[in-house]
Structure 1
Amino acid sequence: MTEDQLSAVRRGLPEGTRAGETVIGSPTGVGRAGRTGQDMDRGSRDELLGRLAEAVGSVTVAHPTRVAVDGPPAAGKTTLADELAVVLRSQGRDVIRATIDDFLFPRAQRYPRGEYSAEGCYFDTHDHEALHRVLLDPLGPGGDRRFQPAVYDRTADTVLSPPVTTAAVDAVLVFDGVFLMRPELVERWDLRVFVSTALEKTVDRAVIRERRVSSRADVERRWRERYIPAQQFYFATVRPTDHVDIIVHNDEPRQPVWAPRTH
């Protein structure tokens, strides 16, 4: 990704753009539990989780079901994935909960282009080879179901090697993270969910989330120079919402709007 490409992406997706909005539009005007021409639903958080659990249950594969919960930073995907895992466990499913944050490269390897590089955010951050090798492929078609849920401790900035575990054949992997529909990963998922929110809203959420460790100025700089341009590049080149099964609009987490996608 060149600086010219980044500039073009910024021009094509104006400030305030919703992640996914250029593909499916705004949920404005959707009535509670009602339908629109875009086939969207609005309901309570519990209703959304019930729909997602139904979608997981509808997947028929001969190996553990691998669920991706994609979305920009601070969109609410980790919280949604955690809540979905609780619901699935209450239904008797064996759930493996994992996250892209446990498949980062070590810090010294993540920032060769600088701390604020959008290009580095997209290309240098995540160890996809390890993710395939220890988690997604063992749980996929022809896999032996012997997996490891992590390879990296972000807090300590150290490599991990947790014990190998054997998953039940009907287990569910609930995996959250950024850039999960990129070409290296998109075919590894059996159900794909995208959590969408206005990119400007992610900045406000990040400031609140990181206020104890970072100043507002530092957070805003990281978002505006690194994270938002990387997401804009992802949307311009990969068009992730074209590949997912369900899109969740999460501007109002207690009153979410969601839309099943057909391919």
Structure 2
Amino acid sequence: MRLEAITWDRLAERLADRLTGLEPADGGAWTRAGFDGAPAARPGELAERVAQALRVRGRPSLVVGTEGFLRPASLRLEHGRRDAESYYSEWFDTAALWREVFGPLDPSGSGRVLPDLWDPATDRATRSPYVPLPPGGLLLLHGPLLLRHWFPFDLSVHVLLSPGALRRRTPQADHWTLPAFERYESETDPAATADVLVRADDPRHPAWGG
């Protein structure tokens, strides 16, 4: 894929333009976009920029992070606090994401999305209220390892870091997660799977293609 140098603001504008022109693949009333990337790649920041660009266009959107859908500590830390296999397979409550985020946006859904479910700091349910997303609204879901779950994205964006950049920009305390991302690259190949690829080795000078 040929990549083009761009600024983050211009990238957000182009993604917002692309999203506003998309019709949901399932014929429903809501468009769903995924912003995939390791925490060090900061896919949530790009999702927030796109949300702002959509607001300027008069399109409502809801940004949801998968960090709000972690499983309880008793489950995700069953094999220790630094188990890469558990991080890859057990940390995120994908069943809750399907039920509380994607289910309400099915063609016959209510549009009432739960923005988060679990607070890892307190290890308790957040008890957040449901957020109504009106017809024509857009879901912007961000987090790591997204593209291995077959979520029904109408547009998927992968924020790519080279292995060296990922290691440099990941805090030393979180280096234990790196094997999970190596496995993700091997099994899912997110750079080839995503509709849009953003290379962010130098956070000041991203490039994109798609």
TM superposition score normalised by structure 2 = 0.91
Which residue number in structure 2 is paired with residue 202 of structure 1?
Answer: 166
CA distance in 1, matches of 2:38, 2:109: 30
Which residue number in structure 2 is paired with residue 162 of structure 1?
Answer: 128
CA offset at residue 45 of structure 1?
A: 2.1
CA offset at residue 100 of structure 1?
A: 0.4
- 1:135 and 2:101 equivalent? yes
* Residues matched between the structures, number: 207
Contact map agreement 2:66 2:92 (CA 8 A) in 1? yes
CA distance in 2, matches of 1:201, 1:149: 30
For 1:76, the aligned partner's letter is R
The residue matched to 2:139 in structure 1 has which SS? strand
CA offset at residue 42 of structure 1?
A: 0.9
Any idea what the Cα deviations from partners look like across 1:148-196, whole Å, max 9, x if unmatched? 11111123221123222321111111111011111x3x24211100000
Q: Which moved more, 1:198-207 or 1:85-94?
A: 198-207
Contact map agreement 2:158 2:196 (CA 8 A) in 1? yes
CA distance in 2, matches of 1:83, 1:240: 21
Q: Which sections of structure 1, spanning at least 5 residues, go unmatched? A: 1-37, 208-215
Q: CA RMSD in A?
A: 1.6
Equivalent residues in 2 for 1:161-240, closer than 5 Å: 161-182=127-148, 184=149, 186-207=150-171, 216=172, 219=173, 222-223=174-175, 226-240=176-190
- 1:53 and 2:53 equivalent? no
Any idea what the Cα deviations from partners look like across 1:50-107, whole Å, max 9, x if unmatched? 1111221121123211110001221121211121111111221111111000000112
TM superposition score normalised by structure 1 = 0.74
CA distance in 2, matches of 1:234, 1:68: 16
Any idea what the Cα deviations from partners look like across 1:125-153, whole Å, max 9, x if unmatched? 01111111111121133322122111111
Give the fraction of aligned pairs with identical amino acids, expressed as a percent: 29
Which residue number in structure 1 is paired with residue 71 of structure 2?
Answer: 105
- 1:40 and 2:3 equivalent? yes
CA distance in 1, matches of 2:131, 2:84: 35
Any runs of at least 4 consecutive aligned residues in structure 1 with deviations exceeding 6 A, and if so which?
none
CA distance in 2, matches of 1:74, 1:54: 26
Contact map agreement 1:76 1:250 (CA 8 A) in 2? no
